[in-house]
Structure 1
Amino acid sequence: MTEPVTINPRIIDALYSEALVLSDEVRAAFMLSGRIETAGREEDLARIALSCEALRTTTRMMHAIAWLLNHRAYFMGELSEFQLRRHGRLSPDAAGGEPERLALLDPEIRVLIGATERFYARLMRLDCGWREHDVQAPSAIAALRERIRMASR
């Protein structure tokens, strides 16, 4: 069994840089992709698919950057570990794209969406590993209950 990776400032800074580049690519791709040249009903469906996936993808990257910024703040001493564990959580509900909608998009945009999904999955694995690292440590409430139990003997 492998030891979970500890998150350190170098990892967070590298991921933050990667997230900024990826976010800029997402912004540029969806800004320039408004030119859909199909006709009739297909055009409407493609525009809806593009809008939905643009919102989903930019939201995914916004959450990723927020998570990374929280970790940077922790390493800079601006957040306690308690604050980071409580408020620096990634949403497990970052759903991937719907296949029927993705099929209506340009291949380049589908590749970019896939890259953001893989990036977010990497962050989720890091976050889960970091959170599981101290699972054995009792919570504050459990520690307080233990103290009360010991005092009542």
Structure 2
Amino acid sequence: MPDGVAQTQLTRKLVDSLYVEAMVLADEARAYFEDHGVEARDSLPPAQRVGYAVESLKVTTRLMHVIAWLLTWRGEANGEIDAEQARHPDRRLGLTARSDPTMVDMLPEGAQRLIVASEELHKRVRRLEQDLLAPPEEPKASPARSLLGRLERAF
């Protein structure tokens, strides 16, 4: 199997795996922030309640950016869009605000877990995007070939 085909399949598997992870995390976040975390939120002082709301929006934003980015690459892998369209700046992973560690430490454990998980997923996808969009590296000259070249020139 040619390297390009193996790379495409690996990328498709990785994108599909990340997509499932993002969707599961988005469902967990929705369930927590809309249902299970309401009681915990209501027990917080007013300033922390605002912080809770802000952080829940940051989680949602991070996850939606990740999901949109992954859908772009799934579309490229499925031939729905071409590689040039997938790499267009409008389709890049969106920037998101960082969570305030001081505020996060004051929130319930369930919210903290979701915040950290969304940040970690966003960072992994950001690194993947940087790798995919990086210009290809020039092949490094082999030290042995370099030595052979010098010997050929000398004799």
Superposition TM-score, scaled by structure 1 size: 0.76
- Which amino acid letter does the alignment assign opposite residue 8 of structure 1? T
User: How do 1:1-153 residues align onto structure 2 when only pairs under 5 Å count?
Assistant: 8-32=11-35, 33-35=37-39, 36-38=41-43, 43-86=45-88, 87-91=90-94, 93-134=95-136
Q: Which runs of 4+ in 1 moved over 6 A?
A: none
CA shift digits 1:45-103 (9 cap, x unpaired): 12101110011110000000000000001011111111111032112x32321123212
How far is 1:31 from its partner? 1.0
What RMSD in Å do the two structures reach over aligned CA positions? 2.0
The answer as to whether partners of 1:71 and 1:88 remain within 8 angstroms in 2 is no
Unaligned runs of 5+ in 1: 137-153
Give deviations 1:105-143, integer Å, cap 9, x for gaps.
Answer: 10221012101100110000100001014477xxxxxxx
TM-score, normalising length: structure 2: 0.75
Gaps of 5+ in 2: 1-6, 139-155
Which structure's relative contact order is higher, taking Cα pairs within 8 Å and 6+ residues apart?
1
Maintained 8 Å contact 2:59/2:114 = no
Please give the per-residue CA displacement for 1:16-59, whole angstroms capped at 9, x wherever unaligned: 11111111111111112122354xxx621121011100111100
More helix by share: 2
Aligned length: 128
Percent of residue pairs bearing the same amino acid type = 34
What SS does the aligned partner of 2:45 have? helix
